[in-house]
Chains A and B, each alone.
Chain A
């Protein structure tokens, strides 16, 4: 894949608190923050970092506001969020849990097309408007509803990824895989504790690993996953600016406060078809390959990852899809400590979906915000990076809608 015809940058990233069970502020019996509040907050958060916030376009991603909020025509909220977007082209994007990645991709393409020098890109979801038992029906829309909902588990996606976990246990072994998934969970919470806006920031539970080792139970939940293997329902929003070099100048953003997006890999799979191999995320593998090829780097050049761990098993499989471990070897890789903050390839320094939270439409944008923050030295959980490259994977549905982004620091060593 060719490199971009001109340099593309990301800057001024902002994420709201991701609210859901786990946070002390989460009081569903009382008035909860409205989606308008999340939108306003994230936009103002980004705008504050932009000296001249006159954007050429706006993009907003959300998965199912029409059902969670009975609200459509989401692009109409962009001028509400960012006054300078009044009378500018505004677009809504949807790709299930991969919405954020696709929203970023659209922003990149618009700037590459020269139709815009700068794009305000945002993503949000407010899901706690309904009880989880009904939310599951809505989220099932990320799969092929007509075919899959009836036979699916009451809470749907845990059942889907439980099948993947079951297939993985059968092929590669149960005990070590469970241990790796428990370590993944532990890593998520340890990292979330470093991020004040993370849903699991206030989680002080001791013995995380032992807790996460609880054997799955079909009677209590799903056959091959326990509750610690699952990200929770969240509300939140995130936003970031995508711009050309010219765009950055117009906005008044300096290069050192930006990161360069050097690659974007996108791949889509037929939603009506079952995965060919439950132990592989083939679409993720394709998108990852495209991005690495475009970037002209290899996986070992990547300093850290933000992966789409809606479930611990999906994080583990993503690791193999990107080639960081061979098929069946991700558990070993994880158990060697490689994914920790000071490991070989730190994963989800934000806490990831399991630790930071997962408002479906916001997550992909939040991931890029975290790449940007880490690469510009602004991250809450800042580490010393071994290279200037960070990579994210934004996945929608059961490995159907995947966008991978590789960003590069503009800072001198």
Chain B
């Protein structure tokens, strides 16, 4: 609508898309979207808009129709040709053309007007708004289905330009490092660390207060790892419990007390050797004599009080396990604010280890750090791959935390319980298997360097007896043997739908109510977890759509929900949510397959807001695979946020893009995702902004 006189533009706005009734129009003209998807030629646009106008003439004076036609004619002339690279004015023009009818002039649908992004500086200063536009463009929820269609290739070009331009504006130098880290160990990290440090199989962190997620949604986020007065007491108690346990285990005890007093080694020296050994492991770096002295003093005092050598050393070790240097992961401040500095080798080892194992560096990683070789890219890559694939890897511990938080499946058996009346046969082992299935899938993908798209669809899954029971899978149909442990199995055709996350009961259960599935919760889950789209909450004082179970018993849930979507205010979001959930209606609230719900046969055929048809879970998987880059972006963002243990900043999105590129260039292989994170600027370096100095 470039340079179209304001008056006409205004008239046009009055005409189209001003009221949310537009959604109803699109539904009553079902063929329009079908035509558009085949051809985006101008005549079709014109035809459809003419149709729309005609449809409205009943209540619109002819003068508006004339004005609208004038505008439509104006649109016939392409303003920016497809092969021309965008610049800011060019992009603005396309935006005005495409979005102007609802979002320009006096018109601010959804609180958004193009005037908010009219100046080039807005790429930086109104970055969030641009990102929102980008999201609506890429998920094809804008322009709405009844607006003039926006050809897919143009859409992609514009999206790519916005992404690149905004990132360049926000971070002209490309990926930048973040601040040095200081955070306490999260509860699960504490448990794993104590286990590895003392070599005991004992959950020392069990008594610690729970952690709550922050940042990108993980429990390791520095900003939400708060400290309450209760912590000191709980840490002390945990340390005593763990050391008591270790002192009773022969192997662990020997490990802690390896140096013995002898003729050549006075007992104070032997104690010091033992304490230095634990201290340097616990503090995750070499310790100085000065640092060691207070612990040696504890030993001497205890010894003077008639404690045995062993008792006195173990007592001093309690001190090590409640020292801030142990409980806090901390990185030294860079010498010069404003200049990025590489992490020290030991700091890098700590980041790598807590990222991939959720625990303290193992001996080999410590050795590499001690030798000062970890900064070397080849060595860092080698160590990373070793942590992913080595025998005895604790990758599962870390992925348990990552996947459980990302997908919400960690709630199973925690805050999410199965209905005890209806599912009394579901016991802890079933719940554990449901919770672990996606975690093991992730581990397998990383370990075997398979495509992360296997999370969307794969010809395999993981099964054990419990899962087979929940899924009603006949064991003789599966070639591989399995009993208690989750085993990777190839899926025969009849169970093929079980491949990928969406075939997993844990995922399907956390997005259900205790006694029924919820297309709304599931649709929201798919949007949020897999496509990275956070929809706004329902407007105040409007009950959510998903509460209609008890009414209209003769109809399926879907039919009832579709009734609700007649309400235009609800439809603006639920048109995006519900169809994704409908595609999964073949699964009940615990993830079992069904062909009908209590209202009648399941109809798995749905249509997205832009007209794309989706048939059941297979259709949904195909749809998600067509959005693979978006999925890769979501997963990259999550993984980077998890690895860094903090909220991502806008500038970190450059790093996310570089990881996405790496994935695209490498068949979306899992190890590339991890390497992309580990090799990135913010993972390997620290930067103190000038204003953050003391």
Same complex origin of A and B: no
Tell me the A residues contacting B by CB distance below 8 Å.
none
Tell me the B residues contacting A by CB distance below 8 Å.
none
